[in-house]
Amino acid sequence: MAEFHDEAEAPKSNVPKLYYWGLHGRAEAMRLAFTLAGIEFEDIRLEGPGWGKMKTSLLPTMPQANIPMLEIDGKMYSEAKACLRYVGTIANMVPSNPTDQLSMDEIIAYSDNIFGCVGFAFSGASEDEKKKTAEESAVKGGQLYSVLSNYETILKGCADGWVAGKNMSIADLWLFSLFSFLASPMFPFPSNFMEDFPTINAYRKKIGTIPAVQAKYADATGPYSSFKY
């Protein structure tokens, strides 16, 4: 397992700030990496109106402004994968071997397939239509089922039990977050839809039962209940 720092990387008066919605989504792996590494940060959870005003103020000088967003030493940075890599670097969760880094970046990039499976939940469709889409996606031959089948194959091929080398990296936290995200009660997928993916379930449990991860979600409820072991 990666060695985690015991102290924050930044002075208390100028800690990193992470801006995102009050959900897991694309930011939870960063929150988790900060926490596991003992790096103090501000977890700023936005609501629609607040983000709208913030984005309007940023766009004239930062046309790429989007969340999740990191504020480091007063400067804003966006793009979830770039921000995650920064957090992973200061948290000592990026492998030193270049090919392991390639594996890490590859698996994080491939995860766009997961987000492609949940877009319907944020559409203007009716609840019945969303439920129908979810059920069709989660059965054999469906979009989500196919994506998870691919992850079963990928994880079976990880000789060391981690996706990027011999230690846990941000790619593992990213996948743990996304698999737990899929199992969240916020989506109308069938409750047992992940039973066909034992390798994913074992991998998710392996990370979820790390004492520091378990402690972080010990009191989890609602959308975060799927992170709890």
Q: What is the pLDDT of residues 105-154, one digit of tens each?
A: 999 999 999 988 888 988 889 999 999 999 999 999 999 999 999 999 99
Can you give the pLDDT at residue 191?
Answer: 87
pLDDT in tens, 44-77: 999 888 888 989 999 999 999 889 999 999 999 9
Q: What is the mean pLDDT of the chain?
A: 91
**14-35 average pLDDT score:** 94
Residue 99 banded pLDDT, cuts 50, 70, 90: very high
Residue 71 three-state SS: strand
pLDDT in tens, 5-17: 334 343 445 899 9
Can you give the pLDDT at residue 12?
Answer: 47
Residue 142 three-state SS: coil
- Element at 51 (helix H, strand E): helix 48-58
- Please check whether residue 28 is in contact with residue 178, taking contact to mean a CB–CB distance below 8 angstroms: no
- Please check whether residue 150 is in contact with residue 114, taking contact to mean a CB–CB distance below 8 angstroms: no
**Separation of alpha carbons 123 and 107, rounded Å:** 27
Can you give the pLDDT at residue 90?
Answer: 97
Say if residue 68 is preceded by a cis peptide, omega within 30 of 0.
yes
Least confident of 85-94, 177-186, 196-205: 177-186
Q: Are strands 75-78 and 17-21 parallel, antiparallel or unpaired?
A: unpaired
**Separation of alpha carbons 14 and 23, rounded Å:** 24
Residue 31 has pLDDT above 90, yes or no: yes
Angle at which helices 170-182 and 28-37 pack, to 10 degrees? 130
Which of 180, 10, 13 has the alpha carbon at shortest distance from 87? 10
**Separation of alpha carbons 42 and 109, rounded Å:** 26
- Element at 78 (helix H, strand E): strand 75-78
Residue 186 banded pLDDT, cuts 50, 70, 90: confident
According to DSSP, the residues that pair with 175 across neighbouring strands are: none
Radius of gyration for the chain, computed over Cα atoms and rounded to the nearest angstrom:
18
- Please check whether residue 88 is in contact with residue 169, taking contact to mean a CB–CB distance below 8 angstroms: yes
Q: Model pTM? A: 0.89
Residue 1 has pLDDT above 70, yes or no: no
Share of the chain above pLDDT 70, in %: 94
**200-211 average pLDDT score:** 97
